[in-house]
């Protein structure tokens, strides 16, 4: 018997009790032998749990198990109990693996670099882990066309290095770049730091190759910038978090890299000033504005406290900070634009103080203060993470409102931090504390979701829904939309074997499942 139900008190925002759906099959030794044949007998292609009773006991929580790295997410919040991870090297191998899973009604969780924040890439129970890490070839880089084709397991930073060598850049950058894989980025529609400049992956991704739930290969891999022949099916798989198919190859625009990058950090005395600064940056920096990020003093304090080698960037503390990046092709022009911008924001007293990165190292240090907040939060203890889109001008109200809500009950041991992609209207709201407690969670949720709904915002701007927010979709999408998503799911994965328990609410999702007995 697999575990019947699962409460995850350590999951920070995912305390829904969900039960393993007994309509799925359980992985047998026969299945494992079949998987080994699928990968041509390559021992590195199938990793089996070293805890003998892994599939049969609640007690086997896999300490020191060979599958730990596949079963547990990087934050240590989400713990699956899968018995086997497969690591195909080709689309054909994956296709054979999925055929088997489909025929046997085995649930599957597609996994990339395992850097997600919502538990979308690790098993909820005993799903077969399909890790794409060994499909990591860069297939082609076309400098003339500005298009690259990669396998899903290519790490973002590796692609960036490869295209940089030819004067190009990946139109996507995020903190996890050293580990996250391109397939995962596409499957989560990752946003990150360059969205302001290059737009979303929905425009940058030109083509995809997909392995469907039943093992069929869907070839949407084109390198054309324009193609209006029928419905753009690839869009369904971008951001579907592996619930509709498994991304195996990606064609993506890799535009010319900017030859000149400037970074400036500003201190401001109110959030309203941050918004005013954004307006001025859009107008004055125009086509060279490439990032506009903000964080509050509470976030900076945590970075300074947790991370060695960081230091206060300005003479006096300010309640708010903004990092502005410009990217252009002529250094003197960029510098002139930046200087003109600095002059105006000083004269208008929009900023309290500011500093421009004087060389690459200094610029990197300024960026680090913003980029490493997430790591500082991890070091500091437990953290409830929310990733929210809100109307830009009112975005920070949620932080102050939540502080006022939590302070009386929880005091100074609970810190509410706000930072994020201000230029995209995207707030990262983080509640840092010693440990996860039901009382604290109840004080945060569903309050945060209701607040966001009332502002017509999104309860997941860029992190996705995963297992953490599958039920919370209703705060951002109306019932008809969720119903239609269920129809898409049933059309593409009629047996519901792809990444179950995630993205869609149980009531929508489970209708797709066929009981084992009827197969």
**177-216: contacts with a copy of itself (CB under 8 A):** 188-189, 191, 195, 199-200, 202-204, 216
Helix (H) or strand (E) holding 238: none
d(CA 336, CA 338): 5
Alpha carbon distance 480, 32 (integer Å): 40
Q: Minimal distance in Å, beta carbon 292 to a copy of itself?
A: 12
Q: Which C-beta is closer to a copy of itself: that of 443 or that of 498?
A: 498
Rank residues 2 and 145 by Cβ distance to a copy of itself and give the closer one: 145
CB of 340 to a copy of itself, least distance (A): 8
Give the nearest distance from C-beta 306 to a copy of itself in angstroms: 27
Of the pair 328, 357, the CB lying nearest a copy of itself is at 328
| Residue 446 CB, nearest approach to a copy of itself (Å) | 15
The only residue of 18, 285, 291, 406 in contact with a copy of itself, by rule CB under 8 A = 285
Q: Which is nearer to a copy of itself, 224 or 507 (CB)?
A: 224
- Is 231 or 454 the residue whose CB approaches a copy of itself more closely? 231
Four-CA torsion 183, 184, 185, 187, nearest 10 degrees: 90
Q: Which stretch binds a copy of itself (CB under 8 A): 86-94, 130-138, 436-444, 486-494?
A: 486-494
Q: Whose CA is closest to 403, among 432, 373, 376, 435?
A: 432
Q: Decide if residue 279 touches a copy of itself (CB under 8 A).
A: yes
Q: What residues have CB less than 8 Å from 108, skipping those under 6 apart?
A: 98, 101, 127, 128, 129, 130, 246, 497, 498, 499
Q: Which is nearer to a copy of itself, 371 or 462 (CB)?
A: 462
Q: Tell me which residue has tokens 């569903």.
A: 446
The 3-class secondary structure across 158-175, one letter per residue, is: HHHHHHHCCCECCCCCCC
Beta carbons of 213 and 495 less than 8 angstroms apart: yes
CB of 505 to a copy of itself, least distance (A): 10
For a copy of itself, give the closer residue by CB, 181 or 189: 189
Using CB under 8 A as the binding rule, whether residue 252 contacts a copy of itself is answered as no
Please give the C-alpha separations between residue 455 and each of 399, 427, 469, 475, 511, in angstroms, as whole numbers. Answer: 14, 13, 18, 10, 31
Name which of residues 415 to 434 contact a copy of itself (CB under 8 A). 421, 424-426
- Rounded to a whole number of angstroms, the minimum distance from the CB of residue 230 to a copy of itself is 5
Task: Tell me: does residue 217 bind a copy of itself (CB under 8 A).
Answer: yes
Q: What does the block give as tokens for 17?
A: 């009790």
Interaction of residue 258 with a copy of itself, rule CB under 8 A? yes
Query: Are the beta carbons of 416 and 399 closer than 8 angstroms?
Result: yes
- Residue-wise burial string across 212-224, b where 16 or more C-beta atoms lie within 10 A, e elsewhere: bbbbebbebbebe
Beta-strand relationship, 84-86 and 128-131: parallel
Pairwise CA distance, residues 330 & 470, whole Å: 46
Q: Can you say how many angstroms the Cα of residue 76 is from the centroid of all Cα atoms in its chain?
A: 16
Give me the residue label for tokens 């891999």. 221
Residue 479: CB minimum distance to a copy of itself, A: 10
Site for a copy of itself in 222-241 (CB under 8 A): 222-233, 235-236, 238-240
Residue labelled with tokens 């701007």: 461
Is residue 165 at the binding interface for a copy of itself, with CB under 8 A as the rule? no
Sheet containing strand 260-268, edge to edge, reads 353-356, 260-268, 320-328, 289-296, 415-421, 426-433, 382-389
Instruction: Work out which of 135, 193, 465, 513 binds a copy of itself, going by CB under 8 A.
Output: 465
Contact characters 444-463, a copy of itself, x per CB under 8 A:
------------xxxxxxxx
Q: Which residue carries 């066309």 as its tokens? A: 145
d(CA 120, CA 327): 33
157 three-class SS: helix
Give CA–CA dist 249/233, Å, rounded. 15
Under DSSP, the state recorded for 115 is: -
Contact 193, 170 (CB under 8 A): no
Considering only residues 349, 361, 480, 518, which one is a binding residue for a copy of itself as defined by CB under 8 A? 480
Smallest distance from a copy of itself to CB 130, Å: 20
Q: How many residues bind a copy of itself (CB under 8 A)?
A: 90
Among 20, 79, 415, 469, binds a copy of itself (CB under 8 A): 469
CB 30 within 8 Å of CB 15: no
Please select the residue that binds a copy of itself; options are 344, 404, 481, 511, rule is CB under 8 A.
481
- Taking the least distance from each CB to a copy of itself, the nearer of 5 and 228 is 228
* Pairing assessment for the beta strands 353-356 and 260-268 based on DSSP bridges: antiparallel
Distance CA 44, CA 67 (A): 13
Residues 363-392 that bind a copy of itself (CB under 8 A): 389, 391-392
Start-to-end CA distance of the chain, whole Å, equals 20
Of residues 119 through 138, those in contact with a copy of itself by CB under 8 A are: none
- Interactions with a copy of itself, residue window 325-364 (CB under 8 A): 327-330, 333, 336-337
Residue among 79 and 421 whose Cβ is closer to a copy of itself: 421
Looking at the Cβ atoms of 239 and 418, the one nearer to a copy of itself is 239
Q: What character string, x for contact with a copy of itself (CB under 8 A) and - otherwise, covers 2-41?
A: ----------------------------------------
Question: Which parts of 293-322 interact with a copy of itself (CB under 8 A)?
Answer: none
141 touching a copy of itself, by CB under 8 A: no
For residue 278 the two structure tokens come to 């954004």
Nearer to a copy of itself, 54 or 208 (CB): 208
Instruction: Say whether residue 71 binds a copy of itself (CB under 8 A).
Output: no
Of the pair 231, 439, the CB lying nearest a copy of itself is at: 231
């Amino acid at each position: 018997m697999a575990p019947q139900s699962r409460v995850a008190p350590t999951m920070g925002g995912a305390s829904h009790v969900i039960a393993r759906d007994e309509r799925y099959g359980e992985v047998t030794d026969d299945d494992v032998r079949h998987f080994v044949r699928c990968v041509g007998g390559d021992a590195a292609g199938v990793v089996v749990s070293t805890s003998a009773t892994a599939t049969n006991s609640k007690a086997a929580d896999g300490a020191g198990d060979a599958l730990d790295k596949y079963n547990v997410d990087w934050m240590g919040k989400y713990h699956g109990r899968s018995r086997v991870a497969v690591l195909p090297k080709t689309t054909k191998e994956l296709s054979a693996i999925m055929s088997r899973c489909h025929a046997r009604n085995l649930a599957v969780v597609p996994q990339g670099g395992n850097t997600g924040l919502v538990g979308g890439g690790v098993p909820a129970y005993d799903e077969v882990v399909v890790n794409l890490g060994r499909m990591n070839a860069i297939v082609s880089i076309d400098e003339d066309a500005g298009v690259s084709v990669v396998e899903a397991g290519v790490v973002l930073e590796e692609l960036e290095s490869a295209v940089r060598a030819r004067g190009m850049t990946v139109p996507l950058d995020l903190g996890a770049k050293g580990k996250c894989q391109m397939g995962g980025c596409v499957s989560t529609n990752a946003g990150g730091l360059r969205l302001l400049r290059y737009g979303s992956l929905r425009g940058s991704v030109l083509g995809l190759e997909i392995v469907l739930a039943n093992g069929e290969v869907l070839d949407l891999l084109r390198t054309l910038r324009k193609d209006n022949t029928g419905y753009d099916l690839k869009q369904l798989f971008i951001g579907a978090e592996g619930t509709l198919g498994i991304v195996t190859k990606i064609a993506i625009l890799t535009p010319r890299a900017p030859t000149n990058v400037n970074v400036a950090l500003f201190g401001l005395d109110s959030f309203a000033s941050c918004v005013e600064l954004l307006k001025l940056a859009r107008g004055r920096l125009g086509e060279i504005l490439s990032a506009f990020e903000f964080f509050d003093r509470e976030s900076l304090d945590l970075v300074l406290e947790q991370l060695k080698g960081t230091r206060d960037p300005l003479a006096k503390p300010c309640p708010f900070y903004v990092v502005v990046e410009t990217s252009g092709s002529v250094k003197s022009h960029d510098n002139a634009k930046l200087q003109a911008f600095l002059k105006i924001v000083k004269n208008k007293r929009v900023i309290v103080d500011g500093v421009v990165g004087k060389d690459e190292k200094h610029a990197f240090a300024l960026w680090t203060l913003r980029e490493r907040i997430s790591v500082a939060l991890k070091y500091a203890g437990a953290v409830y993470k929310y990733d929210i889109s809100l109307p830009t001008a009112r975005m920070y109200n949620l932080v102050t409102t939540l502080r006022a809500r939590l302070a009386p009950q929880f005091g100074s041991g609970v810190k509410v931090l706000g930072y994020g992609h201000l230029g995209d209207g995207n707030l990262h709201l983080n509640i840092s504390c010693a440990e996860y407690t039901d009382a604290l969670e109840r004080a945060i949720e569903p309050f945060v979701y209701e607040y966001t709904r009332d502002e017509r915002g999104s309860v997941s701007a860029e992190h996705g829904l995963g297992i953490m927010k599958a039920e919370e979709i209703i705060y951002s999408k109306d019932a008809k939309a969720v119903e239609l998503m269920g129809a898409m799911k049933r059309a593409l994965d009629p047996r519901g074997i792809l990444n179950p328990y995630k993205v869609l609410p149980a009531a929508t999702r489970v209708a797709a499942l066929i009981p084992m007995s009827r197969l």
